[in-house]
Structure 1
Amino acid sequence: MPVCTFVVIAYNVERYIGRCLQSLKAQTVQDFEVVVVNDASTDGTVKAIQQEIDGDERFRFINKASNAGAHLARRTGAAASQGKYVIFVDGDDSITRNCLELLQPVLENSDYDILRFGRDVMPASSTESDVAFAYENEEMFNQGDAVLSGHEILESIYSERTHRNTWSIIDCAFNGDFVRDVFAEMTDYPLGRMQDSYEMFVLCSKARTMRMLPDVRGLRYYLGAGISGRSRETLNKFDYLQESARKDYEHVNAFARLCDEAAISECATWLGREYLRIIGNEWVTRLSPDDQATAIEHLLLSWRAKEVSDIMSDPLMARGRWLLEQDMIPAKNDEFYRWGAVFEQSVVPKLSEEQSSSYDAYYQLKHDVEQHVANIVRRREEEARKRQLEAIKREQERGFIHRALNKVAPDGSLCRDMIRVVRAHSRRGK
């Protein structure tokens, strides 16, 4: 039995899969096997895989006939694994060459169900913003050294806390027997994006112990190579995300009902709110203004009106509160007005009277923003009138002085000429 099985899942990663497999072949410890699962790629991924693994007996290749998503690809790979521990790898990432060497002493002398290691996050470009974004991700993923047990494993990821761990599955080494048994119990339904939120939920619910080793940077995570990042995305991709979250939520809730434990149910409820927060963030940051209104109509087909209200509430209310802090008159197409119109037209009519708090808070904020803007307009108008009156007063004073001068020293008089000479000398002196 090898110390570790790397389960590599690949779908249309022709550009990256060679780098991924080369990083495994370059491991400084060679006691491992690799199971590569191709999820029916339509590009040159299969050819690239075969070029890298041809003749290497440590590699086994599973070529799926139809695409079923990352979850079922991992499930297939887990079932085929034989290692004492299993590490899942996405085909567009890579593993540091000494990953297994650093983990081996812990893997061989412990029986942790989950051993979480650290990652280096590679920025999408060398721009200052992308480098900063990568650094923020490293901080989020690489949490403190700790040993967790029982329900605190699940709660460390699926509950509200300052330093919450992530549900990422690709920076963990799992006990082989444990992960094979748990994946066999998971749904055989194809999941979409964020499928690892469901997978880690089930794994953490069943795990006895979890060790955190963030200083062992075993994963090289390429931000933006797959679906991660901050770039604009199409409405179709957004729909895929929100529909995937809906499926994930249903499967997490089904699992929590089977467990019938209060701690697991509370974590499932928290995850439901987190899905809505993530969808809201994607809606704000990754859709064009033209697509945002259409996306809300699509959300109402997948989610209840109260849930769509929750998706919109955070960004809408945050924008309104921000406007209250500014000394400015917002543009007519400001996000607060644009999002508010969508909320009023599409979401509010579908909310019940019992859910009125969702729109009562918005309408109060809308009123406060209108009053705030009206006060700014009124103050600016008063300041403009004051400036105008001061200008008139100054003009009147200049006219009075000019009339008085003409009376005392008419134009052409010796007195007037002397005044001009004094003024000329005064200007040259300056």
Structure 2
Amino acid sequence: MLTRASSPDIIRFGLDAFPESGADDGTARAVEAVFNNAQGMRTSKEIIETAFSDIISPRDVWSVTVCTYRGDSIRESFSKMTSKRLGYMEDTYEFFVIANESQTLQNYADFHALKYRIGAGRSGRRLYSAEEFSKRQREVHEMYLLLCEYCNSQRDDTDFYSRTSLWMKRQYLLMLVTDWVTRLPAADQDKGYTAIVETWGAADAAIMLFDPLIARGESLLSKNSIPPGNDEFYRWGQILAKIVPMVDDGRNLPRYDQYRQLEQALEHHVAEIQLKEQQALQAEQERIEAQARFKKGTLMRRVIDKVMPAGSLNRDLVSVIRSHAQRAKRER
């Protein structure tokens, strides 16, 4: 039993997940596995490290709503936050500051205090328009700048906060490109990515595109089929081709060479499949033609056997004439 003296700054509980708006039971169980994983006590920097780095796997969640907080501690944390209105993914910023300002966090993941209805929130599981996606990614970028501002205000262990804010940037980019892939219709993806380039810059926009682009290419490479010309790999590659000239022709882009090698491997893979298909088609055509010739030859032979039976004078006479004709042809 907790007393006021022993009460931690944060208590994190577990949850039960219920799928809604098209979510399935598999997704719900996966969410429960993530949220109900953490055990034990976290102290000092360990609180922020276990949620905002790859120091452990799986990481602790950064959800604000699965926690309760000691009053004076949470009030102090919120006093350190921006007074500006936050938008999409605001809980990442909030929990970052709370985790950094707190000294103790106790996990009670076995006690499921929250009923989480997946798909019932602001985002749901619906598709976005290009305009809505553009607005949300701007909100995330503004929040990232506020997070960097908070990190820069910390006077101790500046290297740690620099690494952590950079790690969060990668997470934001990863979450945004996941939304871009799964929530934007194909017709709006080009426009949506233009917004990312304008907000985050060409280099970050290119880097975040490599994950889905390379994953799609590797998937195609594992299949024994020719992808259609409008496949995601080709569409996304065209978007990347517009961005690369803005970033020193790709020479300073991590994974650009990997993408180019994959692109060439896929071209070779498709060429091999096309060659095999052509060879199979040609072999089938030759089989059909040979079968037709066989049927035609069989019919003619039946006619000859009927008119000139084997052993008849006419049949023998034809054989003699054919033999003389072949000999004369050879002697020419």
Category of TM-score, reference length = shorter chain: 0.7 to 0.9
Gapped runs of 5+ residues in structure 2?
310-332
1:152 paired with 2:46, answer: yes
- Counterpart for residue 267 of structure 2: 370
1:268 corresponds to which letter in structure 2? S
Structure 1 residues 107 and 361: alpha-carbon distance in aligned structure 2, compared to 1, 3 A threshold: farther
Give runs of aligned pairs for residues 131-210 of structure 1, distance below 5 A.
Answer: 131-160=25-54, 161-210=56-105
Residue 22 of structure 1 corresponds to: none
SS class of match (1:355): coil
Larger radius of gyration: 2
Kindly indicate whether the alpha-carbon contact (under 8 Å) linking 1:154 and 1:267 is maintained by their aligned counterparts in 2. no
Q: Deviations over 1:311-333 (max 9, x none)?
A: 21111111111111111111111
1:193 and 1:240 in contact (8 A); partners too: no
Confirm or deny that 1:111 pairs with 2:25: no
- Contact kept? 1:192, 1:240, Cα under 8 Å: no
- Give the aligned partner of residue 221 of structure 2: 324
Task: State the one-letter code of the partner of 1:301.
Answer: E
Measured after TM superposition, the shift of residue 108 of structure 1 is 5.1
How far, CA to CA, are the matches of 1:233 and 1:302 in structure 2? 18
Provide the rounded CA distance (Å) in 1 between the counterparts of 2:214 and 2:31.
Answer: 26
* Residue 243, structure 1, aligned to residue 138, structure 2: yes
The two structures, once aligned, show a CA RMSD in angstroms of 2.1
- What secondary structure is seen at the aligned counterpart in 1 of 2:69? strand
Shift, 1:252, TM fit: 1.6
More helix by share: 2
1:226 maps to what in 2? 121
Candidates 122, 128, 135, aligned match of 2:18: 122
Q: Could you say what secondary structure the match of 1:120 adopts? A: strand
Give percent identity, aligned residues only: 31
Residue 411 (structure 1) shift? 7.2
Following the alignment from structure 1 to structure 2, what is the Cα–Cα distance between the partners of residues 112 and 241?
34
Partners of 1:314 and 1:140 in 2: how far apart?
22
Answer whether contact 2:39 2:109 (CA < 8 A) is retained.
Answer: yes
Instruction: Tell me how far apart the structure 1 counterparts of residues 180 and 270 of structure 2 sit (CA, whole Å).
Output: 27
In structure 1, the residue matched to 2:281 is 384
- 1:360 maps to a residue whose letter is D
CA contact (8 A) 1:191 1:244 kept: yes
Matched, 1:394 2:291: yes
What amino acid is aligned across from residue 8 of structure 2 in structure 1? Y
Unaligned runs of 5+ in 1: 1-104, 414-430
Matches of residues 283-362 of structure 1 in structure 2 within 5 Å? 283-345=180-242, 347-353=243-249, 354-362=251-259
| Aligned equivalent of 2:171, options 268, 271, 274 | 274
Distance (Å, rounded) in 2 between the aligned partners of 1:216 and 1:299: 40
| Separation in 1, partners of 2:229, 2:300 | 49
Residues 411, 187 of structure 1: CA spacing in aligned structure 2 closer, same or farther, 3 A cutoff? farther
How many residues are paired up? 305
Match for residue 318 of structure 2?
A: none
- CA spacing shift, 1:251–1:374, aligned 2, 3 Å: same
Tell me the alpha carbon deviations over residues 137-192 of structure 1, each in whole angstroms, 9 at most, x when there is no partner.
12221113221112221111111243112211001011111110111111112221
Q: Which amino acid aligns with 2:296?
A: G
- Distance in 1 (CA, whole Å) between partners of 2:131 and 2:284 is 54
Provide the rounded CA distance (Å) in 2 between the counterparts of 1:153 and 1:356.
33
C-alpha separation between the residues in 2 aligned to 1:212 and 1:308?
A: 37
Structure 1 residue aligned with 2:150: 255
SS in 2 for 1:186: coil
Which one has a larger percent strand, Structure 1 or Structure 2? Answer: 1
Q: In the aligned structure 2, how far is the partner of 1:144 from the partner of 1:198?
A: 20
Q: Aligned-pair distance for 1:405?
A: 3.1
Aligned-residue offset at 1:286: 0.2
CA separation of 1:227/1:398 partners in 2, compared to 1, >3 Å: closer, same or farther? same
Q: TM-score, normalised by structure 2?
A: 0.85
Give the deviation of 1:367 after TM superposition. Answer: 1.9
With over 3 angstroms needed to count, the CA separation of the structure-2 counterparts of 1:300 and 1:360, relative to structure 1, is: same
Structure 1 residue 229 displacement after superposition: 3.6
RCO comparison, higher one (Cα < 8 Å, 6+): 2
Give CA deviations for 1:235-280 in whole Å, capped at 9, x if unaligned: 2321222112111211221222222423333222211100000000
